[in-house]
Amino acid sequence: MSQVNNSRISNIDLAPQGHLAIDWARRHSPLVDGFLRERLNDGALAGRRVAVVVHLEAKTAFLATVLADAGAEVVVAGSNPHSTRDEIAAALVDRGIQVHSTRGSGYEAWEKDLLSIADTGPEFIIDDGAELTIRMASQRPDLFSELRGITEQTTTGVSRLVELAKRDRLPCPALAANDAACKHLFDNKYGTGQSTIQAILNLTNMLMAGKKVGILGYGWVGRGIAAHVRALGGTAFIVEVDPVKGLEAFMDGHQVGDLDMVLPEADFVITATGGRRALSRKDFGGMKRGVILANAGHHDLEIDVEALADEATDFRVVREGIDEYQLAGDHSVLVLASGALVNIAGGLGHPIEIMDLSFAVQGVGCHELARGAVAEGVHVIDPAIDSEIAKAKLAFHGISLEQKQSHQEDTIDDLLGPEG
């Protein structure tokens, strides 16, 4: 364990590897490196303390460095104890940014790291799952009351912010970055879809073609996963509690049913609900022998691994990232990445180009908060800014759009005719 510049990281000697990874992320992040940098040039963040609590890997680190280059006092922690990359944490500390995060140190150490970040007294939080926000609200209320703004990356986190606001416990404006079109239409669908399936196939070295894949939840994440399953020749079986989403999955051409129908058939089961215990004790015995479980939702508790371990008669690690639980009757269930988020704990996370969009939204959101442009409550980023981000991304790819002409407008005057 290294204690450098008030930071708590694993090993500062890993910094050179981290710098290379961050530079690779920079090369493929034109929005963060260009559009966002330019927007931050007005000095709105200079001298302001910003806490970045997102999965701590290269793409997140690059965002942190851009904020620091704009004059912000940046402090960083990981939003999940399984997803931190120690070489990335070391590189940030080597750059002079305070970091409290180590990979695989467990939940108790992670909780302490989050509180260490809270104790620095941030003015703004770039959060994931409202992990820092909730802890400050419950354990550091005095510091929480001094916050000036929060931007939130996930569906789960936005729900938590809305609940805080309903209880009149949100002390500052908050932006639901997740609800921006440039975030959820791309990050949740294409990012999680690709990175989840990529991680599953890399961990197992198995073929997707011909497989039956149970997907619990058909929000944007579930949609993306199902699309990637189909693209690789698998069949998606959707489990939903919302009739409209269930009907949407059916109309999209997927199989739809309840757990009793899906679990006995599925070769893989992927949770994408954003809730807890989507797969619980009662479900494991009814699964196909040798089924492989993966979590793509927010909580590590989407798969009740503790209950599975309690039911198991034997346990072994069959391959790095794959745990096998032997159940009664010569039945086994395999769990990827210990039930943590498979795409980040068992892979490299979302593609860089996708996070370039998401972090442009988060960074611009933080800037809007810093310049006092957001009212109290939970809000979506200004649609005009959303459009600017999309336009900048298109421009990087050399794409220009058609302009609507005045004679193409459909006005009420055309329908009513001249007055009188």
CATH class of the 12-183+350-396 domain in this structure: alpha beta
Mean pLDDT of 333-347: 95
Instruction: Check residue 74 and give its pLDDT.
Output: 98
Instruction: Check residue 2 and give its pLDDT.
Output: 63
Whether 274 and 217 have beta carbons less than 8 Å apart is answered as: yes
E strands of 101-168, at which residues? 124-127, 149-152
- Fold held by 190-345: Rossmann fold (3.40.50)
Whether 341 and 334 have beta carbons less than 8 Å apart is answered as: no
Cα 191 to Cα 273: distance, rounded to the nearest angstrom: 16
Residues in the chain: 420
In Å, the largest CA–CA distance within the chain is: 86
Q: Give the residue extent of every domain in the chain.
A: 12-183+350-396, 190-345
Q: Do domains 12-183+350-396 and 190-345 have the same CATH topology?
A: yes
Q: Is the four-CA dihedral 98, 7, 107, 55 of positive or negative sign?
A: positive
Cα 60 to Cα 76: distance, rounded to the nearest angstrom: 9
pLDDT tens for 25-52 read 999 999 999 999 999 999 999 999 999 9
Mean pLDDT of 235-256: 98
Instruction: Check residue 408 and give its pLDDT.
Output: 75
Cα 219 to Cα 114: distance, rounded to the nearest angstrom: 29
First to last CA, the chain: 83
Cα 391 to Cα 397: distance, rounded to the nearest angstrom: 10
Q: 361 is written with which tokens?
A: 């939204």
pLDDT tens for 135-157 read 999 999 999 999 999 999 998 89
- This prediction has a pTM of 0.91
pLDDT tens for 159-194 read 999 999 999 999 999 999 999 999 999 998 899 999
Q: What's phi and psi for 315, nearest 5 deg?
A: -145, 140
